[in-house]
Amino acid sequence: MIYSLAKANKAIVAIGVDSEKPSADNIINSAIFAKKHGYANPIIVCNKKITTEVPCIVSNNIEERLIHLLASGEVEAAIRGNLSARSLLHIMKSIFGCKNLYRITMMEITNRPIMLAPVGIDEGDTLEDLIEFALRGKKIAEKFGLDYKVGVISGGRHEDKGRSKKVDEMLEQSEILTKKIEEIGLEVENFGIEIERAIESSNIIIAPDGIIGNLIFRSLVLIANIDSFGAYASALPKVYIDTSRARTGFLLPIIFASALAK
């Protein structure tokens, strides 16, 4: 569904490229491929002129230009590419007046789309935030016609209570979170520390916080080479996909952005 929606939309998608970084060529090649195969109409926002069939906008402040293109509606979606997260997110939060982006990453594991949240190291610090992630994930699932089940993970198995104060606190938090998600009408299961079971039967994995979620993402995507579509900033009124600078291919984030754009 993600691929077919992207082709149906062929959205105008801007992607940031710092030409001084090693991943620049990977981003450019991904944009060319996406355009050639009809997934999107990409635009490269770069600090140096690039001669290619994909349009290029040159700017001395790539982060600011990228976000202004998105906010003004000149493009239908934007992707971080290999730009600095700290600088870009500061500009984005200022322009959109948003404190929390609620980034939800989409991965493909055993030929199934699976979401993971929170993945921003500064997100998911409260129970309310984790509940909000579960609600926002449902909207993404509905867009792609997916049945929705939330998998809550924690710091131990249920029988591990008493092994340490930290484990006990994490288990208690996961139990409260599971109950709250259940109360708002979503299908949910508490898998404890067994993420391997959660992945088998859930559409979204809710980690205890953004730091743990980010570590899970890096382990799966950057070490185990699981396919990732990037992280959708679900709190924004526009489509923005966050990407890790360490990734080697950027085609899937372009497809994801185009699929979400309309």
What pLDDT sits at residue 149?
Answer: 97
Q: For the CA atoms of the chain, what is the radius of gyration?
A: 19
Q: Domains of the chain (ranges plus CATH)?
A: 1-98+236-262 (3.40.50.10950), 101-231 (3.40.50.10750)
Residue 196 neighbours by CB under 8 Å, 6+ apart: none
Q: How do 103-109 and 227-233 pair as beta strands? A: antiparallel
Tell me the one-letter amino acid at 108: E
What pLDDT sits at residue 184?
Answer: 95
CA distances from 125 to 26, 128, 146, 166 (A): 34, 9, 27, 15
| Residues of the chain predicted below pLDDT 70 | 245-246
3-state SS, residue 223: helix
What pLDDT sits at residue 61?
Answer: 92
Residue 175 neighbours by CB under 8 Å, 6+ apart: 190
Query: Residues 158-215: pLDDT tens digits?
Result: 887 878 899 999 999 999 999 999 999 999 999 999 999 999 999 999 999 999 999 9
Which 8-state DSSP code applies to residue 248?
Answer: S
Distance linking the first and last C-alpha atoms of the chain? 14
Question: Token pair 């991965």 is at which residue?
Answer: 107
Which 8-state DSSP code applies to residue 242?
Answer: E
Residue from 114, 112, 92 nearest 102 by CA: 92
Q: How do 204-206 and 41-46 pair as beta strands? A: unpaired
Question: CB of 241 within 8 A of CB of 78?
Answer: yes
For residue 44, the surrounding DSSP H or E stretch is: strand 41-46
Question: CB of 151 within 8 A of CB of 137?
Answer: no
Question: CB of 153 within 8 A of CB of 192?
Answer: yes
What pLDDT sits at residue 85?
Answer: 82
Stated pTM of the model: 0.91
Tell me the one-letter amino acid at 256: F
Tell me the one-letter amino acid at 161: K
